Chains A and B, each alone.
Chain A
Amino acid sequence: MALAIALVIAVITVISVYVFWAHVWWLPVDVSTHGASIDHQFMMTLIMTGIVFVLAQLGLAYFVWKYRDRGDRRPAKYSHGNNALEITWTTAAFIVFVGLNLLGYRSWASMRFTPAAADALRVEVWGEQFQFYFRYPGPDGQFGPTHVNLMNDATGNALGLDRDNDPASKDDIVTATLAIPVNREVELILHSKDVGHSFYVRELRVHQDLVPGMAIPIHFTASEDALNYNGGRYEIVCTQLCGLGHYKMRAFLQVMTQEDFDKWLKQQAEEQQ
């Protein structure tokens, strides 16, 4: 029986390693300029935790077999273990985890704590149950104020803009598709109207929560490759369980050339003015 359990553990270990080694379920293509550092961090974490996983599992299988019941009814012995060894690997694990965090922090902070470029395209992302809206500031570069009492999806004014009385709102463009130009930095400012949501575009390696009452900035650049896959169209999904319709909360990101983007934005503005 001990041998069978040990073999099962070993087989599970081998299958798990194969799934990652052969890229059975793997990351989609990266179409961002910062994605390489995220993928590098992911690979480094995967390799280090993978080695520990394999050693731990094979060790477990070995000990299950080594200390099997041999039928000679010998009494079990208590072993306190080895203090020096315990301290060594606890310290090693601590160093590895803190080190991974410090390395990953650089990639993470570069999108959040450093300011976006001055010429970055600024777009607001608004989440609500169960829909994303996107707001472009228009030619004045200013987002007008939002008024809760005017928010009404059924009248097409989901963000509660008062275009008649707020000059900054007059040229704001609200859409349900996020279009961005390629090779230009984009700064998203994330808001939620109701509960926690999350903005995730796998191919852009951009993942950030939307928190009610907060305006959370994040910036990134879609690389030239972004135009080459799926016609530049990528799915934006909510990854924070936000209610009954969470499974359907999504939108689409369309990456375009700057020229096409300008045309698209103009068309949206004409529809809304």
Chain B
Amino acid sequence: MKIPRALWVAGMAVTLLLAGCSKKQETAEETSAVPSEQPAGGTPVDPATAGEITGKVTFNGPKPKLAVLHMDQDPVCVQKHSSPVYAEDGEVNGNGTVPNAFVYVKEGADKYTFPAPTEAVTLDQNGCLYKPHVLGIMVGQTLHIISSDPTTHNIHPLPKNNPEWNQSQAPGAPPIDKKFARPEVMIPVKCNQHPWMRAYIGVVKNPLYAVTGEDGTFTIKGVPPGDYTVEAWTATWGTQDQKVAVSPKGTATADFTFKPGAGT
């Protein structure tokens, strides 16, 4: 029996359409099926017994000389600064402490449940620098990326354990919201428009982390009693681990001292 041509064409069109739809469904399922390492169940943290981990990160050696960041290619970046801008990696405070060290509970907290906070962590692009330079975020928590610069940026994280992406953000463009599905310490973030821009994101399974500031100290609050391995990460001198024991409502101390040459 000969099939009329119009019927044959219509049949093919319907077949192709269905094939296209089913492919789309597969893609959507693939995207949503990115495995999250967020624990489904576990022991909830009892705030009444939670303690804290505190300490200081110091550098034992001659204070490194920081190089000037050359922003001349984009006059917008130059105009945002009235004095030379220096690299942030390798920075040591006046008192010998280290800013921008990421300190987090690396081991020992897996049995507890830490739901991802609903509030986002903000990463700003200001003066053609990422602010903050180092930040922590929980798996599944929203990273809210904004720009305060009247120039186009291109945010480009370079993860090893999460999908890589890069996205441009023109002046006045809406914020970009992203999440990371797997823990990873640290994810460097560059800007494809301004090669000197760098941020580091620590993606962790719990909220037990802190970033040192101008005094080089940190405090990690809400730590359930127990034994933990705490790691301090620096962009220049690598990482150091320490074991600490937190008693109920107690404060454990973990000081870290980095030396020149380590981690490079």
Measured CB to CB, the residues of A under 8 A from B are 128-133, 152-158, 174-177, 243-245, 248-252, 271-272
Contacts and interface: CB of A to CB of B under 8 A. Distances in A.
Contacts of B119: none
Contact of B70 (A176, A243, A249): A176
B173 to A, nearest CB: 16
Contact of A174 (B70, B87, B90, B198): B70
Nearest to B67: A156
Interface in B77-115: 84, 86-90
B73 A156 contact: no
A107 B84 CA distance: 41
Contacts of A155: 67, 87, 89-90, 236
Chain B interface residue number, banded: 20 to 34
A272 B196 contact: no
B67 A252 contact: no
Contact of B192 (A130, A133, A154): A130
Contacts of B193: 130, 245, 248
B243 to A, nearest CB: 32
Given A130-B192, A154-B89, A156-B196, A248 B152 contact: yes
Interface of B: 66-74, 84, 86-90, 152, 154, 168, 190, 192-198, 236
A173 to B, nearest CB: 11
Interface of B is mostly: loop
A243 B197 CA distance: 18
Contacts of A252: 72
A156 B74 contact: no
A271 B84 contact: yes
A249 B194 CA distance: 10
B261 to A, nearest CB: 10
A128 B195 contact: yes
A245 B154 contact: yes
B154 A176 contact: no
Most buried by B among A245, A249, A250: A245
Contacts of A250: 73
A158 B195 contact: yes
Nearest to B129: A154
Nearest to B197: A154
B221 to A, nearest CB: 30
A153 B72 contact: no
Contacts of B84: 271
Contact of A156 (B86, B154, B168, B197): B86
Contact of A129 (B69, B152, B192): B192
A123 to B, nearest CB: 15
A154 B236 CA distance: 11
Given A154-B198, A155-B67, 18 more contacts: A132-B73, A153-B196, A154-B195, A154-B197, A156-B68, A156-B86, A158-B196, A174-B70, A175-B72, A176-B70, A177-B72, A243-B192, A245-B193, A248-B193, A249-B73, A250-B73, A252-B72, A272-B68
B89 A271 contact: no
Given A128-B195, A129-B195, A244-B192, A154 B72 contact: no
